[in-house]
């Protein structure tokens, strides 16, 4: 059976105008626009529609274990260190990282490489083992 034959639902009323039918009941991603011509013959245009991806509402698993400790050390420093200042300190140590990368590390949305963890610990004046919760 042709996909178009499976999709089309014919309306015999000339006065109903154009309407949109979806094929959800057949699990086919097609949209069918049905319009009626003046001589009561039916003109059907079939357009292929792409699948719509839904936004994930479930939180992704943590990508690092040092994020909360970085935030804690940054805010407990006297005076507190901003994310922009931390990014500048890391740049001075040769680790190129911007403010958004620091934010994503703190929220555990970004992986942290070993050399970045070492530079973070040095910039925050804490030990690497403290960053990894071993102290």
Average pLDDT score over the chain = 76
Binning pLDDT at 50, 70 and 90, where does residue 135 land? low
pLDDT reading at 132 higher than 60: yes
pLDDT reading at 105 higher than 80: yes
pLDDT reading at 106 higher than 90: yes
The pLDDT tens digits for 30-74 are 444 444 444 445 555 555 556 677 777 777 789 999 999 999 999
Which comes out higher in pLDDT, residue 75 or 60?
A: 75
Q: What pLDDT score was predicted for residue 72?
A: 96
* Domains within the chain, CATH numbers bracketed: 3-48 (no CATH), 67-131 (1.10.260)
Which comes out higher in pLDDT, residue 105 or 18?
A: 105
Q: What pLDDT score was predicted for residue 6?
A: 43
Q: What pLDDT score was predicted for residue 48?
A: 54
Q: What pLDDT score was predicted for residue 50?
A: 60
Burial of 11 (0-12, 13-18, 19+ CB in 10 A): middle
Q: Of 99, 107, 101, nearest to 65 (Cα)?
A: 107
Q: CA 51, CA 15: separation in Å to the nearest integer?
A: 32
pTM confidence score: 0.58
């Amino acid at each position: 059976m042709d996909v178009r034959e499976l999709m089309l639902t014919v309306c015999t009323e000339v006065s109903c105008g154009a309407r949109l039918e979806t094929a959800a009941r057949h699990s086919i991603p097609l949209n069918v626009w049905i319009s009626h011509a003046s001589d009561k013959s039916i003109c059907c245009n079939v357009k292929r529609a792409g699948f719509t991806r839904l936004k994930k509402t479930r939180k992704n698993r943590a990508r690092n274990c040092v994020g909360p400790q970085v935030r804690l050390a940054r805010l407990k420093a006297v005076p507190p260190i901003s994310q922009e200042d931390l990014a500048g300190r890391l740049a001075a140590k040769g680790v190129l990282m911007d403010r958004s990368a620091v934010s994503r590390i703190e929220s555990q949305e970004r992986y942290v490489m070993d050399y970045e963890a070492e530079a973070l610990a040095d910039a925050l004046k804490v030990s690497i083992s403290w960053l990894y919760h071993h102290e």
